[in-house]
């Protein structure tokens, strides 16, 4: 699956030649629910063409529109979906991302990309990775409370022990030496075959296993854990946990683990096991964010007022911004002065104000956390904790 990365989000936050099209829709993994997905997609394309004509009259945008059309006819694409789909396109870019949670159907044409659903996908507190490991191979999964999917290992991560150790891997076959008497093996005086090195071979296999685990640990840390910052859950048979933890230097590997080989259980069981491990950490992190906001607000170092937050943002004061998931406020922010202009989504150049505030927070080096409505500490859809 192709989920958005931090580097890709950063690229989307940079300036792009307008118009910028942001298309989001829920999709389905299985038949027959997925039969409606391409129909809804084509309806969104019709909305896109109308919006482009209305917002950018006289501009030749046939090249941008044509980027979407092949997907509308691609049956294979629609038969291999997750819970959600995001497509972001401009005259110079076309990016397709899979989402592991459903998203409201949305088509935005504006001067910048609508990125709040992607921010939630990337920075939601319920995300995690799972390292599936046995003595022969490694797999990596990524998920949240809703779904878990295997992800492609980065180029620098070996999948198997053979790929990790190469020519240094011990020959898996035992050496057998036969010593016969004068008549050899078939003689009445033959000496029974003698197997040498069985204990030595066992030691070498255990050494190979430890070396394999070390290679995997370093590669996962470098190519997946550090870039994502996600907690890592080890899923392996009980006998592999102690050895891997002994050699691991990954600070994101959590103490709790899943004591099954992932290949022996269903994806849904794997998700359940992982979420039971992550949920207490998720709730504690969310409670800490809410407590920090309440404390900051009492000292005039936090606000839930959209206009106040916008002013603080352009001054570089916002450290953490909590944004209500699925909430939209039509408007735009002047990024020089912080002045707010409210309007309707039917007006050209009007986008989701909360999305713009989230985007600006990230550009200013702050943290954005997308929070479910029932967990938000405010009713305004926003909660900002200031740096000073």
Do 136 and 243 lie in one domain? The reply is: yes
Distances in Å between the Cα of 211 and the Cα atoms of 26, 138, 206, 216, 217 are 43, 13, 9, 9, 10
Domain annotation covers residue 24: yes
pLDDT at 359: 87
Do 245 and 132 lie in one domain? The reply is: yes
pLDDT at 343: 83
Q: Is residue 244 over pLDDT 60? A: yes
Average pLDDT, the chain: 88
Q: Which whole number is the average pLDDT over 84-97?
A: 96
- Domain boundary (230, 246, 281) is at 281
Summarised one tens digit per residue, pLDDT across range 296-347 is 999 999 999 999 999 999 999 999 999 998 888 998 888 889 999 888 877 7
Do 135 and 248 lie in one domain? The reply is: yes
- Domain boundary (123, 157, 184) is at 123
CA end-to-end span of the chain, whole Å? Answer: 40
Do 72 and 35 lie in one domain? The reply is: yes
Residue the block writes with tokens 């990596």:
140
- Domain boundary (230, 251, 281) is at 281
Do 138 and 221 lie in one domain? The reply is: yes
pLDDT at 348: 62
Q: Rounded to whole angstroms, how far apart are CA atoms 336 and 351?
A: 17
Do 276 and 144 lie in one domain? The reply is: yes
Do 316 and 361 lie in one domain? The reply is: yes
Domain annotation covers residue 160: no
The domain that holds 370 is classified in CATH as 3.30.1330.30
Domain annotation covers residue 168: no
Do 137 and 248 lie in one domain? The reply is: yes
Pairing of β 93-99 and β 106-110:
unpaired
Q: Is residue 184 over pLDDT 60? A: no
pLDDT band at 214 (very low <50, low <70, confident <90, very high): very high
Domain annotation covers residue 290: no
Domain of residue 270 covers 128-149+192-281
Buried b (16+ CB within 10 A) or exposed e, 268-283: eebbebbbebbeeebe
For 67-71, 206-210, 234-238, which range has the lowest pLDDT when averaged over its residues?
Answer: 206-210
User: Model pTM greater than 0.85?
Assistant: no
Q: Which among 314, 313, 318, 350 is positioned nearest to 332, based on CA atoms?
A: 350
For 116-120, 198-202, 204-208, which range has the lowest pLDDT when averaged over its residues?
Answer: 198-202
CA 98-70-84 angle, to 5 degrees, is 20
Name the phi and psi angles at 197, rounded to 5. Answer: 90, 10
Q: Which whole number is the average pLDDT over 156-172?
A: 86
Contact (CB, 8 A) for 170 and 212:
no
Q: How many domains does the chain have?
A: 3
Do 260 and 308 lie in one domain? The reply is: no
Do 273 and 384 lie in one domain? The reply is: no
Do 236 and 211 lie in one domain? The reply is: yes
For 210-219, 286-295, 338-347, 353-362, which range has the lowest pLDDT when averaged over its residues?
Answer: 338-347
Do 261 and 314 lie in one domain? The reply is: no
DSSP symbols for 138-159: EEEEEE-SS-EEEEPPPTTS-S
Domain annotation covers residue 52: yes
Q: Rounded to whole angstroms, how far apart are CA atoms 330 and 351?
A: 6
Six token digits for residue 211: 């070396």
Domain annotation covers residue 79: yes
């Amino acid at each position: 699956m192709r989920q958005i990365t931090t580097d890709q989000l950063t690229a989307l936050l940079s300036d792009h030649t307008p118009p910028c099209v942001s298309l989001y829709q829920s999709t389905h993994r299985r038949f027959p629910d997925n039969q409606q997905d391409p129909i809804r997609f084509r309806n969104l394309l019709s909305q896109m063409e109308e919006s482009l004509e209305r917002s950018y009259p006289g501009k030749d945008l046939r090249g941008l529109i044509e980027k979407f059309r092949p997907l509308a006819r691609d049956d294979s694409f629609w038969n291999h979906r997750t819970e959600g789909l995001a497509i972001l396109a401009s005259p110079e870019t076309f990016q397709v991302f899979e989402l592991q949670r459903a998203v409201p159907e949305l088509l935005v044409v504006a001067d910048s990309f609508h990125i709040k659903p992607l921010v939630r996908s990337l920075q939601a507190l319920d995300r995690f990775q799972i390292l599936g490991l046995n003595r022969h191979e490694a797999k990596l999964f990524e998920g949240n409370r809703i779904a878990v999917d295997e992800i492609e290992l980065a180029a620098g991560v070996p999948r198997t022990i053979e790929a990790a150790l190469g020519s240094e891997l011990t020959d898996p076959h035992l050496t057998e030496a036969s010593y016969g008497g004068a008549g050899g093996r078939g003689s009445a005086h033959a000496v029974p075959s003698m197997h040498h090195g069985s204990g030595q071979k066992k030691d070498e296999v255990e050494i190979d296993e430890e070396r394999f685990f070390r290679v995997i640990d370093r590669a996962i840390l470098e190519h997946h854990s550090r870039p994502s910052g996600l907690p890592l859950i080890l899923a392996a048979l009980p006998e592999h946990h102690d050895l891997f933890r002994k050699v691991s230097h990954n600070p994101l590997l959590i103490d709790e683990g899943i004591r099954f080989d992932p290949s022996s259980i269903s994806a849904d069981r794997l998700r359940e096991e992982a979420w039971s491990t992550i949920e207490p950490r998720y709730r504690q992190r969310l409670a800490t964010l809410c407590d920090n906001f309440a404390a900051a607000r009492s000292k005039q170092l936090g606000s839930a007022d959209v206009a106040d937050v916008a002013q603080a943002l352009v001054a570089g004061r916002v450290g953490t911004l909590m944004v209500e998931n699925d909430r939209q406020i039509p408007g735009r922010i002047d990024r020089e002065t912080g002045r707010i202009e409210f309007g309707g989504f039917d007006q050209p150049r009007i986008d989701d104000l909360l999305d713009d505030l989230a985007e600006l927070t990230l550009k200013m080096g702050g943290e954005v956390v997308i929070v479910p409505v029932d967990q938000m500490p405010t009713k305004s859809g926003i909660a900002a904790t200031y740096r000073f």
